[in-house]
Amino acid sequence: MKVASLRRRWLVSVVLYTAAGALASTAVGIALGLLGASLAAGIGEGWRVPFALAVGGFGLARMLGAPRIPLPQWRRQTPEFWRFRLPMPITATLWGLDLGLVFTTWLTYPGPWFLAALAVVGGSPMGAAVLFGAHWLGRAAWVWFAPYLLPSAVSAPATALAIVRTVPLLHRVHIVGLVVGLTGVILVALAGR
């Protein structure tokens, strides 16, 4: 009975976390798409592809070990005290909203800036919302695997150390993602001609 209750609470929290983050991320996408649309109206179209390639190329060069140019970011974490002061479903919702905003917390990799460039370049609020919604779903998917990833209820410290060991793989996946993304930009540009 107790375990079933905990499972239900976990499921509700994960659903709220995912939904709140999707809401925040799509809002970020819409804002960037609107910015792109107004820029296109003001300064024309010629900057789009070079800008996306430049931002993506910067990110890729950084990932491949180019001189460590600081990643523009707000060096902030989600407040941990929410976990101690608020019911778990509310904490999960707030974490989702906060992390879903993408740029209000630590960025490990430059990919979100590439996506921001794509959102601005696309100039479509709906398209940018889909882009940032997809990014959030990729990020939030991890929490759905928590029951598989954690062997026991007291595995959190071991998980933190295991995540450190997983970073090199995540780094490589991010590089592949940027390469595919840059290829996509070129293909979209060619298809648009």
Q: Which residues are near other proteins by CB under 8 A?
A: 77-78, 99, 105-109, 111-112, 114-115, 118, 127, 130-132, 134-142, 145, 148-152, 154-163, 165-167, 169-171, 173-174, 176-178, 180-181, 183-185, 187-188, 191
Residue 18: CB minimum distance to other proteins, A: 12
**Is the CB of 42 or the CB of 70 nearer to other proteins?**
70
Cα–Cα distance, 165 to 70 (Å, whole number): 23
Q: Tokens 């789009």 map to which residue?
A: 48
**Is the CB of 43 or the CB of 180 nearer to other proteins?**
180
Backbone angles phi, psi at 91, to 5 degrees: -60, -45
**Is the CB of 24 or the CB of 185 nearer to other proteins?**
185
Cα–Cα distance, 180 to 82 (Å, whole number): 38
Residue 185: CB minimum distance to other proteins, A: 7
Cα–Cα distance, 121 to 123 (Å, whole number): 5
**Is the CB of 4 or the CB of 191 nearer to other proteins?**
191
For residue 57, the number of C-alpha atoms closer than 13 Å in the C-beta half-sphere is: 8
Closest CA to 110 of 76, 67, 143, 61: 61
Residue 1: CB minimum distance to other proteins, A: 28
Residue 144: CB minimum distance to other proteins, A: 10
Residue 99: CB minimum distance to other proteins, A: 7
Annotate 166-185 with three-state secondary structure: HHHHHHHHHHHHHHHHHHHH
**Is the CB of 11 or the CB of 163 nearer to other proteins?**
163
